[in-house]
Structure 1
């Protein structure tokens, strides 16, 4: 819908179609002032209602659906040259349409914050800017690749200058990063650029350090832990070609490259590559599309590939390259299931695990204990009346923390002091249930008083530089015990670790999410892969109250790929992804009834469109309460669409979203569309 207002005519040299940051799913037309040069991909200031906003020109057109006299002119042109290359702008527009997100809001969410207003698109150096390092590569002892690594490197390098998708499927410790490095070296010698995405900020320092030791090329770093100026500098350095290597998290995928050569997605299975709010895009899937647009190869690397990527490899969409052996002299760790029903435990630690910990420490090894729960305990309860500490804003319990003492909801961050008596019966018999990282850390420090116990979770690493300090202490090789959450399961190279203990492997076995077992298997194999990565053999103890569960048995005895085949067969029988496609329309409001009423309306609109377009291949389920119905004082409902065809879903969603956007009911709830959802909760 073009922007318009009654006004006098303005001398103009055309009409610009502009993406403006707004919740409306449309572009807006503005007059181009006479003698003004503009082109798609530049920023402009435009009047929008009573405000003035920064928009992005996406097209120059000759005509508008609105009379020229009703159009308002561009106020100011902010860029002289193209800021976003045409092929990247096309990708952004495609992504906004596919993921059914307002196009202006999508484009602006992908720009660095420094470019969302009137700031000049210019590099300003700062002493603390990590994208301007002193370049002193020190890694002259480059390892010799084994035969499998050589095959992978050769395949990718032979695809230089043309599109090809590679699934680099390598066991933990197989040297996938060395394959990345040698492929990047090949690209740099052609005077091209490479972008590498990692799933977590916590992986970025370790990755950057290894790259700086190897290459003298300038590296641009992009993640949410940087200041707006640092991110803008890195973005512009990549766009201008000054930075030859770009390393970052999810949004770094949209960074322009002057001479694109290679895209790498490390740990491609990781759910953090899918944005879970706002513009809900998948960086992994869009990386393949971008590589196709730019005619360059893309590598998707993982020891536990997603079922979607394995399916694409099985059907020939991706070239499947496997690394089945660890690099150097390292061997794969051994696995053992520990039945917690038959052992007493201290803070969740079985006697078998404590004995194994003592043995490995005595042999000079390091021990990693994985427990995916922060805090001291998951719940505080009254032993007299049964009261439990519930979050006042969510359908969840408050977690007990001891450092410092407080109760915290890990969903909405509500915090309360720890009571000294039961608020229901006034009794003093308050106890905790379950185990978290703090309790485990305390118990291990008591059991092994002469050994440093380090905790690695979001709470322990909040302070700047703390993560790097902990990793440095671990990497000095001295015996220690590391207690952590999923932060430690994502790609960290910890050569001193010889024992991994997993405290609770059962959560994913009975998840309400159909992906629960896939996620459980990926997490277990990834954390187990931290053991035995150097010359000492590794051992993995997995504590479970369901040791006979077939998925655990298959995973431990036959490996991840055997379980993946079983899960793929189950998905095919149920026509679930990757054999079918899902969309969730989510609605939430402070009122319990409002989201259900709204999604009932949405279902009526959907059924009308299905009938008018004669779309037979769509199932509609709901409205249904979300598994956690109330979060942060808002009630949530889902409407689930399922089809065997992406195109059929898209042909339905586009008119449905336009209709819903125009309904007054849409202003009474917060609603969104999640295409290809990873989080069903």
Structure 2
């Protein structure tokens, strides 16, 4: 080891459930600063790693006879990742039961894995020379008394804050002012703004660029989300890491970005389940934002018109400071809610006549309507009335959805697709029926019933559709949003992606079609999510008080339901989130559900359902010997709601504890026992632990 005087411990992307889930050790001629990026050999591959510690070889505690391999390359063109970032990665790995390397790899842009030190140096030099068009400075608007009060409280207190603001109350303006104040107070300060979904990014990014780019420069605002190319993501990440980007706006992945001078974090629509990663490292960006803010001494603002029950309860416990903005900007009225009892309509009714009349009137006045159905495709399933055949996915325990435009059946779980059969594959019946409705079918139905309705300019009504199928191509999302904003679309049909965050100035009516399905869900969070979705959707109507006043219109929210007497709809009728939250928290406390208990899921994927459940049964038996089991309850293993995906059977076991620390202590003691267990259950493909699961 004479020429390799130091042992370097490296975080490399290896899954925690493998036998190499910890730090890996290599040799190097001299010590390297923690946070340095390196390339290391692993088997036949060469991987990106992050230096965690350097130890003199003479003091390294290594097993006898072990020969370490040297580092392949040191990427010292880039400044080391700072201690707060490493602490964030370490906490995320520890809390969510993942490996350090897996979390570090999740946080770093994929393009870094392919670059040499020389290539990285060139990227840094090119980045500094890059020029962009500076947008025109946004005209500042006068703050309302509520906005001024909230901004003052944020400046005077430490937080964290829950900004409970009605849809259209001007929460974004509060974000802009508080970010501006932080950047003025410290010329090196950085801000992080998180949104739940990519489709919300363009509009908010444009607001921040108009506000800050003219004074801070064209590269002061950067975005991080999965819709970027690898080159764009690397460029924006480097801007954040070097401090050139003063504001980073992104989806959940951005919470792990390297921001050495972070002073303020905003989590918009904090209630949204999209902040919880559901694949790979299953972290919650909202919860990590809170931890990161506390660790870095940065202020954290959670904003929502329908806060998560966890955040609402945290305010009641005094852990967050609640700031209220109940009024809409310019005295705009919240939409009136109309409940349509579909039990009183003919069985095959898709749109109640009164709703169609209301939509027609708005088209004729030059106003826009939004029709919400949280199910894409034409119909959820095809069915043969003669033999009972259904369009089941051959690889999953789910139906293949009928997409009429493509003439395809497509599984929304494994993406398998096939052409629509011309007759029943089992009995030959040519009359195959489409059961249920999807956004594609609603668009077609509206085009038919509104074909003779004219806009004020005498042109026929135009029906648009916005869902995952119509926005998957490059630039399609921005193009569709532009058509809505410029009035090219009179009625917009879509899924939940159109229901939150967007500022459609001409929208005066929102209609929810068949929302009752969510009430049938077995998940205890279903009512909370449905209420939030409908409240957010209602908030798209009547946002522009001047336009509504000029039109002489009344913004409305229509809900077609079989259960108009349901407490959820009755609370929605009065826009009563506090009442709904109180009722839900009472029910959860009675039932022993979060936020009154803490949960984790352990999931097993195997070739058979028996194999998956046998692994979980064995894992539960191993847990019985642990002293840390005190105060922790393990439920029996059960199949997941969608039991089979891509020919892999899935089972899960719920773990519950009255305290977070008891749950964490148990998981840390229990997880090492699961590694050798997998070797005994060879048909198990993988297993994972999901802490604070959102979907049971």
TM-score (norm 1): 0.93
Aligned residue in 2 for 1:506: 516
Q: In the aligned structure 2, how far is the partner of 1:55 from the partner of 1:282?
A: 24
The separation in 1 between residues aligned to 2:306 and 2:156, in whole angstroms, is 25
Q: 1:522-561 residue pairs with structure 2 within 5 A? A: 522-535=532-545, 536=548, 537-557=554-574, 559-561=576-578
**Structure 1 position 79, deviation (Å):** 2.1
Shift in alpha-carbon separation, 1:330–1:154, aligned structure 2, 3 A? same
Q: How does 1:322-337 map to 2 (within 5 A)?
A: 322-337=324-339
CA contact (8 A) 2:378 2:404 kept: yes
Structure 1 contact 123–237 (Cα < 8 Å) conserved: no
| CA deviation map 1:315-340 (0-9, x unaligned) | 11111001101011311110011111
Q: What does 1:313-392 correspond to in 2, within 5 Å?
A: 313-344=315-346, 348-392=350-394
- Contact 1:123/1:236 (8 A) holds in 2: no
Partners of 1:399 and 1:409 within 8 A in 2: yes
1:636 maps to what in 2? 650
In the other structure, the counterpart of 1:674 is 690
d(CA) in 1 for partners of 2:657 and 2:227?
Answer: 39
Query: For each residue in 1:261-293, what CA deviation from the matched residue of structure 2 results, as whole angstroms up to 9, or x when unmatched?
Result: 211111111111111011000110000111111
Return the alpha-carbon distance in structure 2 between the equivalents of residues 527 and 655 of structure 1. 44
> Is structure 2 residue 154 aligned with structure 1 residue 156?
yes
TM-superposition CA deviations, 1:297-320 (whole Å, max 9, x none): 011111110001101111111110
Which aligned pairs between 1:153-552 and structure 2 lie closer than 5 A? 153-159=151-157, 163-189=158-184, 190-191=186-187, 192-216=189-213, 217=216, 218-344=220-346, 348-449=350-451, 450-477=460-487, 480-535=490-545, 536=548, 537-552=554-569
What is the alpha-carbon distance in structure 2 between the residues aligned to residue 105 and residue 51 of structure 1? 16
Return closer, same or farther for 1:79/1:325 CA change in 2, 3 Å cut-off.
same
Structure 2 CA distance for aligned equivalents of residues 512 and 172 of structure 1:
29
Q: Following superposition of structure 1 onto structure 2, how do residues 45-60 of structure 1 map, counting pairs within 5 Å?
A: 45-60=39-54
Give distance in 2, aligned partners of 1:632 and 1:48: 30
Judging changes above 3 Å, is the alpha-carbon distance between structure 1 residues 479 and 201 closer, same or farther for their aligned structure 2 residues? closer
Q: Determine the C-alpha separation between the residues in 2 that align with 1:399 and 1:94.
A: 41
Instruction: Give a deviation string over 1:84-124, Cα, whole Å, max 9, x none.
Output: 11011011011101100122122112111022344444473
Deviating more after overlay: 403-412 vs 119-128: 119-128
Partners of 1:126 and 1:280 lie apart in 2 by: 35
Q: Distance in 2 between matches of 1:207 and 1:447?
A: 35
**How much does 1:82 deviate?**
4.1
2:11 to 19, 26, 41: 19
Matching residue within 80, 84, 94 for 1:83:
80
Q: Matched residue of 2:625: which SS?
A: helix
* Deviations, residues 625-649 of structure 1 (Å, cap 9, x unaligned): 1111112211111111001111111
> What is the DSSP-based 3-state SS (H/G/I as helix, E as strand, rest coil) of the residue aligned with 2:359?
helix
In structure 2, the residue matched to 1:136 is: 135
Alignment check: 8 A CA contact 2:127 2:235 kept = no
| Separation in 2, partners of 1:461, 1:41 | 38
Change (3 A) 1:479 1:226: closer
Is 2:464–2:489's contact at 8 Å kept on the other side of the alignment? no
Matches of 2:488 and 2:329, distance apart in 1: 23
SS in 2 for 1:59: strand
Any conservation in 1 of the 2:12–2:24 contact (CA below 8 Å)? no
Corresponding residue for residue 106 of structure 1: 103
Structure 1 equivalent of residue 454 of structure 2 = none
Partner of 1:164, secondary structure, is coil
C-alpha distance 125-351 of structure 1, shift in aligned 2 (>3 A): farther
Q: Does 1:580 align with 2:597?
A: yes
Aligned to 1:74: 70
Mapped pair 1:593 → 2:605: no
Moved over 4 A (4+): 125-129
Give the secondary-structure state (helix, strand or coil) at the position aligned to 2:624: helix
2:28 — aligned with what?
Answer: 33
Over 3 Å counting, the alpha-carbon distance change for 1:387 and 1:81 in structure 2 is closer
Q: CA deviation at 1:551?
A: 2.3
RMSD value over aligned CA atoms?
2.2
Q: Secondary structure of 1:70's partner?
A: coil
Moved more, 113-122 or 166-175: 113-122
Q: Secondary structure at the match of 1:332?
A: coil
Do the aligned residues in 2 keep the contact of 1:167 with 1:300 (CA within 8 Å)?
yes
CA contact (8 A) 2:463 2:489 kept: no
Show CA shifts across 1:118-170 (max 9, x none).
444447389999x9631123312x111111111111222335xxx53110110
Deviation at residue 658 of structure 1 after TM alignment = 1.0
From 586, 606, 612, the equivalent of 2:623 is 606
Displacement of 1:445 in angstroms is 1.0
Q: CA deviation at 1:50?
A: 4.8
Alignment partner, residue 5 of structure 1: none
Equivalenced residues, count: 664
Choose 375-384 or 21-30, whichever is displaced more.
Answer: 21-30
Once residues 465 and 536 of structure 2 are traced to their aligned partners in structure 1, the CA distance between those partners, rounded to angstroms, is: 18
State the alpha-carbon separation in 1 of the partners of residues 247 and 346 from structure 2: 52
Q: Aligned equivalents of 1:336 and 1:29: distance in 2?
A: 61
Q: Secondary structure at the match of 1:275?
A: coil
What secondary structure, in the 3-state scheme, does the structure 2 residue paired with 1:416 have? strand
Tell me how far 1:31 sits from its aligned partner.
5.0
Distance 1:320 1:380 in 2: 48
Which of 615, 619, 627 matches 2:641?
627
